[in-house]
Amino acid sequence: MDIILANTAGFCFGVNNAIKIAEDMQDDEIVICTLGLLIHNEQVVNSLKEKGIRVISDISEAPEGSRVIIRAHGVTPEVYEEAEKRNVVIVDATCPYVKKIHKLVRQMHKDGYTIVIAGDRDHPEVRGINGWCADSAYIANTPEEADTIPPVEGKCCLVAQTTLTREKFDGIYDKLKEKCKSVVKFDTICSATSSRQEEAEKIARISDVMLVIGSRKSSNTQKLYEISSKYCKKTYLIETYGDLPPINVKEVQTLGITAGASTPERTIKEVIEKMDELNKQEKEMSFEEAFENSMVTLRSGEIVKGKIIGFNNAEIFVDLGYKSDGIIPVDEYSDDPDFKPETGVNVGDEIEVFIVRVNDGEGNVLLSKKKVDSMRSIEKIEEAYKNKTPVAGKVVEVTKGGVIVSVDGVRVFVPASQLSERYVKDLNEFMKQTIEIKIIEMNRQRRKVVGSRRVVLAETREQMEQEVWTGIEVGKKYEGTVKSLMDFGAFVDIGGVDGLVHVSEMAWTKVKHPSDILKVGDKVEVTVLDFDTEKKRISLSMKKEEDNPWFRVSERYKEGDIVKGTVVRLVPFGAFVELEKGLDGLVHISQISNVRIGKPGDVLSTGQEVEAKIIEVNEETKKISLSIKEVNPIDPEPAEEEEKSVENASDEVKKEEPKAAAADDIPSEHREELNNTIGDVIGSLGDIE
């Protein structure tokens, strides 16, 4: 008899953490309590009691100044509030997965969602979760119970008890979609619970007898028992080795064992030791029995186990315990077109094979591993189709209208329309890729299996989108991908949701068109400026404070420094000089030359390089004032003609006046300086007259 023990059997992280906290808290001077049973195991609870740790059923029972351990199931907000009032110290051992559900439910309830909890309404974990949405949640433990939930007009949010089976969760979700206009689903089933349940199913499928060790009061132990019972008729729920049923080990080839999250390691060990003892007794058999059992009889069409003893480029050799070795042609070993024996076969490995013929004409047994894989995989695919769960496979062939995906040896057709959410021009780009698909059509008799990658992508995108909208906030940074470029900006995918980076938010310097600095597919870091949950709009920025030319400008430029720059713009009241890209300083007309000049253009030109002295740096108002005349004053060229008459000078001033008056394009902080300049010009006219 082979004994298979589940790798996931025994304490989960949450329970183990709670017990460790309790065991480390022994203190003779302080009263220590647990709010409810810390674990559904009588032996562990009694052990903690012997160490002086009390069990209370309500926080009001805790003595003032005591410490109370909150178990992995979690509690309502009122418990924390009551503890604070009573001067009781809370030691929180709530499972991190459960804590996450509390925060999620509180936020979604605050955002106006109707909360639905998939789970047992009498379970302490579910009661605790309901407390974080003011006990307003609808609760259903089965799809049938979900039928009693009234139609919800607004938004609806579905979460699950961490120990719920995925089958029930998906069934409840399907029912809710019929009743609610908008349902947001959060898969809060504990990953450890899922792994434990999946492993229990796998072991139960191949076991003659299945033992589930744990308390009958434990929710996750009960679910393990339910799952195991579906696939192994002889499934027994036991709390200790003393509950073992009478088992005739001679009739049992494989015994499977799993255990709930509240089952201590020593209890599991005691059960295994008892079964090992029975196993040893079974091995005491007569010589005749041993000889008879050693004889191997092979028949075509059977599936048997063998051990790989060698291979070459064309064949793999298998020891079956028969008078002749078995041979697997390479093309019957795997459905993978890239399979090579030297990299995919290990001598000594035990494998299952299908007997094609007992005698291939040369005395050898012809075998196929591919047929076994296909038979096993078709069951797996059938289960995935029933449960609507995705499966992974490799694209092995491109056909007219789609591709063929090999899922553990089963050929699944994926139509071109179901390969992607976008149009795929060349299907060969998927060749040899491993992709995840959902089975959308299956007819075992006709050996027709159809899959969809598009459905998986849509569900993944929907889940990612919900995660983004749940956690988004102004100022939050994301790593995004540029999806498309427009004249006014770029749309960036931040994880299932697109946000807009306006062209003005791409850089601190002016960007004429997004394509000047971005291309589709670029990875960029963006910051949330604003968002509208109802309209599904997000405004993003690519600007970084440290890239702002004015960032800590006073550390780089100080009053009295001599700097070099380029004249980039001339205005009536002075010249703007670029000190570095995006950073300009102003040379007022009075700071260009020691001699009065009519306009900056008389002595300066755009693109001219100049040296200037910094007179003022104002980081707050983003102004740098410069002086050329204090370094190298630029004087006008001597006049080649006689001085103009007063009348001509007056005419020239009048010609310039409209330009000065049309100052809409001049920054507000420079308009006062312009007015002063105009005043100076008019005053000089009076002097001339």
- pLDDT exceeds 70 at position 165: yes
Same domain, yes or no: 305 and 316: yes
> Could you give the CA distance from residue 348 to residue 397 in angstroms, rounded to a whole number?
32
- pLDDT exceeds 70 at position 652: no
CB of 38 within 8 A of CB of 17?
A: no
What is residue 637's predicted lDDT score, i.e. its pLDDT?
A: 64
What is residue 523's predicted lDDT score, i.e. its pLDDT?
A: 92
In degrees rounded to 5, what are phi and psi of residue 209? Answer: -135, 140
What is residue 663's predicted lDDT score, i.e. its pLDDT?
A: 44
Same domain, yes or no: 139 and 169: yes
Q: Enumerate the H helices of 397-503 as residue ranges.
A: 453-471
Q: What is the pLDDT of residues 55-101, one digit of tens each?
A: 888 998 988 888 999 988 899 999 999 999 889 999 988 888 898 89
- Here the tokens at position 612 are 């200037």
What is residue 660's predicted lDDT score, i.e. its pLDDT?
A: 39
Q: What is the pLDDT of residues 455-511, one digit of tens each?
A: 998 888 888 888 888 888 888 889 999 999 999 999 998 888 889 999 988 888 888
Average per-residue pLDDT for the chain: 83
Same domain, yes or no: 273 and 240: yes
pLDDT band at 281 (very low <50, low <70, confident <90, very high): low
Report CA torsion sign: 655, 659, 662, 663: negative
143: three-class secondary structure by DSSP: helix
Q: At what angle do helices 453-471 and 96-110 cross, to 10 degrees?
A: 80
- pLDDT exceeds 50 at position 590: yes
Same domain, yes or no: 205 and 315: no
Nearest CA among 304, 317, 315, 302 for reference residue 348: 317
Q: Which of 129, 163, 189 is the C-terminal boundary of a domain?
A: 189
Same domain, yes or no: 86 and 201: yes
Beta strands in 284-379 (DSSP E): 303-311, 315-319, 326-329, 350-357, 365-368
Which domain range does residue 676 map to?
A: 648-688
- Here the tokens at position 673 are 């300086």
What is residue 362's predicted lDDT score, i.e. its pLDDT?
A: 66
Q: Please return the burial class of 31, using the count of CB atoms within 10 Å of its CB with bins 0-12, 13-18 and 19+.
A: middle
Same domain, yes or no: 3 and 68: yes
Any residues with CB less than 8 A from the CB of 67 and at least 6 apart, and which? 25, 27, 30, 31, 32, 33, 88, 89, 90, 91
Q: Would 522 be classed as within a structural domain?
A: yes
Any residues with CB less than 8 A from the CB of 492 and at least 6 apart, and which? 480, 481, 482, 483, 498, 499, 500, 501, 524, 526, 540
Rg (CA), the chain: 39
What is residue 678's predicted lDDT score, i.e. its pLDDT?
A: 54
User: How far is the CA of 35 from the CAs of 8, 67, 126, in angstroms?
Assistant: 27, 10, 16
What one-character-per-residue DSSP string does 340-395 give?
Answer: -HHHH--TT-EEEEEEEES--SSSPEEEEHHHHHHHHHHHHHHHHHHHT--EEEEE
Same domain, yes or no: 77 and 23: yes
CB of 443 within 8 A of CB of 410?
A: no
Q: Would 268 be classed as within a structural domain?
A: yes
Nearest CA among 607, 573, 566 for reference residue 591: 573
Nearest CA among 228, 240, 197 for reference residue 41: 240
Beta strands in 467-535 (DSSP E): 477-486, 489-493, 498-502, 523-532
Q: Which residue has the higher pLDDT, 539 or 339?
A: 539
Same domain, yes or no: 212 and 278: yes
- Here the tokens at position 60 are 């009001």
Q: What is the pLDDT of residues 193-202, one digit of tens each?
A: 778 888 999 9
Least reliable range by pLDDT among 447-451, 467-471, 543-547, 621-625: 543-547
Nearest CA among 197, 234, 236 for reference residue 213: 236
Q: Which residue has the higher pLDDT, 2 or 161?
A: 161
Strand-strand pairing, 402-407 and 138-140: unpaired
- Here the tokens at position 40 are 């559904």
What is residue 656's predicted lDDT score, i.e. its pLDDT?
A: 43
CB of 341 within 8 A of CB of 316?
A: yes
pLDDT band at 325 (very low <50, low <70, confident <90, very high): confident
pLDDT band at 687 (very low <50, low <70, confident <90, very high): very low
Strand-strand pairing, 114-118 and 138-140: parallel
- Here the tokens at position 174 are 């399907």
pLDDT band at 644 (very low <50, low <70, confident <90, very high): very low
Q: What is the pTM of this model?
A: 0.38
Length of the chain: 689
- Here the tokens at position 341 are 């024996």
Tell me which of 81, 84, 125, 647 is the catalytic residue.
Answer: 125
Same domain, yes or no: 329 and 477: no
Same domain, yes or no: 111 and 173: yes
Nearest CA among 195, 201, 188, 126 for reference residue 160: 188
pLDDT band at 686 (very low <50, low <70, confident <90, very high): very low
Any residues with CB less than 8 A from the CB of 338 and at least 6 apart, and which? 432
Q: Of the spans 43-52, 238-247, 571-580, which averages the highest pLDDT?
A: 571-580
Q: Would 130 be classed as within a structural domain?
A: yes
What is residue 171's predicted lDDT score, i.e. its pLDDT?
A: 92
Q: Is 125 a catalytic residue?
A: yes
What is residue 671's predicted lDDT score, i.e. its pLDDT?
A: 52
Residue with tokens 């103009």: 644
Q: Which of 458, 483, 505 is the C-terminal boundary of a domain?
A: 458
Q: Which amino acid appears at position 234 of this protein?
A: K
Q: Span 418-432, mean pLDDT?
A: 88
CB of 537 within 8 A of CB of 531?
A: yes
pLDDT band at 263 (very low <50, low <70, confident <90, very high): confident
Strand-strand pairing, 303-311 and 315-319: antiparallel
- pLDDT exceeds 70 at position 345: yes
- pLDDT exceeds 70 at position 331: yes
What is residue 562's predicted lDDT score, i.e. its pLDDT?
A: 92
Nearest CA among 394, 469, 406 for reference residue 432: 394
Q: Span 194-222, mean pLDDT?
A: 87
Q: How far apart are the first and last CA of the chain?
A: 123
Percent of the chain with pLDDT over 90: 31
H helices, E strands: number in the chain: 17, 32
Question: What is the side-by-side order of every strand in the sheet holding 54-56?
Answer: 54-56, 32-35, 67-70, 89-92
Q: Of the spans 18-22, 24-28, 472-476, which averages the highest pLDDT?
A: 472-476
Q: Which residue has the higher pLDDT, 380 or 157?
A: 157
Give the chain's domain count: 6
Q: Which residue has the higher pLDDT, 269 or 287?
A: 269
pLDDT band at 641 (very low <50, low <70, confident <90, very high): very low
Q: Would 355 be classed as within a structural domain?
A: yes
Q: Would 588 be classed as within a structural domain?
A: no
pLDDT band at 288 (very low <50, low <70, confident <90, very high): very low
Q: Which one-letter DSSP state was computed for residue 229?
A: H
Q: Span 606-632, mean pLDDT?
A: 90
> Could you give the CA distance from residue 106 to residue 137 in angstroms, rounded to a whole number?
11
Q: Which of 409, 427, 458 is the C-terminal boundary of a domain?
A: 458
Same domain, yes or no: 181 and 205: no
Same domain, yes or no: 488 and 440: no
Q: Would 642 be classed as within a structural domain?
A: no
581: three-class secondary structure by DSSP: coil
CATH number at 451 reads 2.40.50.140
pLDDT band at 15 (very low <50, low <70, confident <90, very high): confident
Measure CA 132 to chain center: 24
In degrees rounded to 5, what are phi and psi of residue 575? Answer: -135, 140
Q: Span 167-193, mean pLDDT?
A: 87
What is residue 77's predicted lDDT score, i.e. its pLDDT?
A: 93
Q: Would 578 be classed as within a structural domain?
A: no
What is residue 661's predicted lDDT score, i.e. its pLDDT?
A: 40
Q: Would 21 be classed as within a structural domain?
A: yes
Nearest CA among 302, 225, 215 for reference residue 256: 225
What is residue 286's predicted lDDT score, i.e. its pLDDT?
A: 41
